[in-house]
Amino acid sequence: MDKDRIKVLIVDDEVLARLKIRELLEQDPEIEIVAESGTGRDAVGEIRKHHPDLLFLDVQMPGTDGFAVLHALEEDELPLVILVTAYDQYALKAFEVHALDYLLKPFDYERFEKTVERAKIQIRQKENGDLTRGVRQLLQETRSKTRYLDRLVVKTGGRVMFIRAEEIDWIEAEGNYVRLHIGKESNLLRESISSLANKLNPHKFLRIHRSTVVNVDRIKELQTWFHGEYQVLLHNGTQLLLTRSYRENLKELLGRLP
């Protein structure tokens, strides 16, 4: 390991997102990628193990999100942080105010290069002390201001329906819409499943399939299936599939799976 190179750790639950960042960083001879992590829980351990100079951190991850990762670290454990996000405008403004940098998904090479160059200058000049204090201040503000959806508004048949998030059993993607399943009824909402999933409390709603989000309180049992997949049985008898690519989401929330 070259002690003069900048040590980087990449944290993102999306494999393709990590791959993109890795491919861009590998072109830079001043950078050394010391580790990658796909979950917030693992990320904390990797940071403490490798002591990176620079951290690429996804804000929105199931279970332990990016902010929770930073909250788990002590002041002297905080590296320089580049937040990778599709977050709301409040957060983006806060990043700028506190001299943090961010990459807004999807980002291009020019934006990526500019962000990395700025980080390298700060690391070389040992200016990240003020930035870590900025991280702490930002975390305090976002912790108090972050709000998840607790009510959804659905327009159907000339009516406007107000649905409490806690009433939803599970959510199914239908093109540019999602279908909200509530007991024996269902309603269409014009929003992508990824967008809606990011607005719901990740401790209550779990993405188990590219087309499915489930209310954790509605899960009755898990049944092992083929190739590491699970059948998810709800209390109302509905059977859903948890695919391997979303298995980590459930591990993050419920702990170790067999």
Only one residue has tokens 């990459």, namely 103
Q: Comparing 64 with 49, which gets the higher pLDDT?
A: 49
Q: Tell me the mean pLDDT in the region 216-231.
A: 88
Could you read off the pLDDT of 147-199 as tens digits, one per residue? Answer: 678 888 888 777 888 899 999 999 999 988 999 999 999 999 988 888 888 78
Domain boundary among 115, 145, 175: 145
Cβ pair 141, 211 in contact under 8 A: no
- Amino acid 256: pLDDT: 47
Q: How many domains does the chain have?
A: 2
Looking at the fold, whether 160 and 224 belong to one and the same domain comes out as: yes
Please report which confidence band the pLDDT of residue 12 belongs to, taking 50, 70 and 90 as the band edges: very high
Judge whether 241 lies within some domain. yes
Query: What is the secondary structure of 141-155 as a DSSP string?
Result: HHHHH-----EEEEE
Judge whether 118 lies within some domain. yes
Looking at the fold, whether 176 and 141 belong to one and the same domain comes out as: no
Judge whether 19 lies within some domain. yes
Looking at the fold, whether 215 and 112 belong to one and the same domain comes out as: no
Judge whether 129 lies within some domain. yes
Looking at the fold, whether 83 and 44 belong to one and the same domain comes out as: yes
Instruction: Domain of residue 177: give its range.
Output: 151-254
Looking at the fold, whether 139 and 159 belong to one and the same domain comes out as: no
Looking at the fold, whether 10 and 105 belong to one and the same domain comes out as: yes
Judge whether 163 lies within some domain. yes
Q: Comparing 161 with 129, which gets the higher pLDDT?
A: 161
Query: What is the secondary structure of 103-162 as a DSSP string?
Result: EESS--HHHHHHHHHHHHHHHHTT-HHHHHHHHHHHHHHHHHH-----EEEEEETTEEEE
Could you read off the pLDDT of 81-126 as tens digits, one per residue? Answer: 888 877 655 455 556 544 457 788 888 899 999 999 988 888 887 6
Looking at the fold, whether 201 and 79 belong to one and the same domain comes out as: no
Rounded to an integer, what distance in angstroms lies between the CA atom of residue 217 and that of residue 236? 12
Please report which confidence band the pLDDT of residue 211 belongs to, taking 50, 70 and 90 as the band edges: very high
Could you read off the pLDDT of 18-32 as tens digits, one per residue? Answer: 999 999 999 999 999
Rounded to an integer, what distance in angstroms lies between the CA atom of residue 144 and that of residue 166? 21
Looking at the fold, whether 157 and 228 belong to one and the same domain comes out as: yes
Q: Tell me the mean pLDDT in the region 62-91.
A: 75
Looking at the fold, whether 13 and 141 belong to one and the same domain comes out as: yes
- Amino acid 92: pLDDT: 59
Looking at the fold, whether 181 and 249 belong to one and the same domain comes out as: yes
190: domain CATH number?
A: 2.40.50.1020
- Amino acid 228: pLDDT: 79
Judge whether 1 lies within some domain. no
Only one residue has tokens 């188990």, namely 208
Q: What is the dihedral of CA 216, 105, 128, 94, to 10 degrees?
A: -70
116: domain CATH number?
A: 3.40.50.2300
- Amino acid 237: pLDDT: 94
Tally the C-alpha atoms within 13 A of residue 61's C-alpha that lie toward its C-beta.
32
Please report which confidence band the pLDDT of residue 47 belongs to, taking 50, 70 and 90 as the band edges: very high
Domain boundary among 118, 145, 172: 145
Cβ pair 177, 190 in contact under 8 A: yes
Cβ pair 33, 19 in contact under 8 A: no
- Amino acid 218: pLDDT: 94
Domain boundary among 145, 171, 189: 145
Looking at the fold, whether 34 and 120 belong to one and the same domain comes out as: yes
Rounded to an integer, what distance in angstroms lies between the CA atom of residue 111 and that of residue 109? 6
Looking at the fold, whether 161 and 138 belong to one and the same domain comes out as: no
Residue 258 has pLDDT above 60, yes or no: no
Q: Comparing 106 with 143, which gets the higher pLDDT?
A: 106
Hey, what are 131's tokens? Answer: 């930035």
Where do runs of H (alpha helix) occur along the chain? 15-25, 40-50, 66-72, 89-97, 109-124, 128-145, 193-199, 247-254
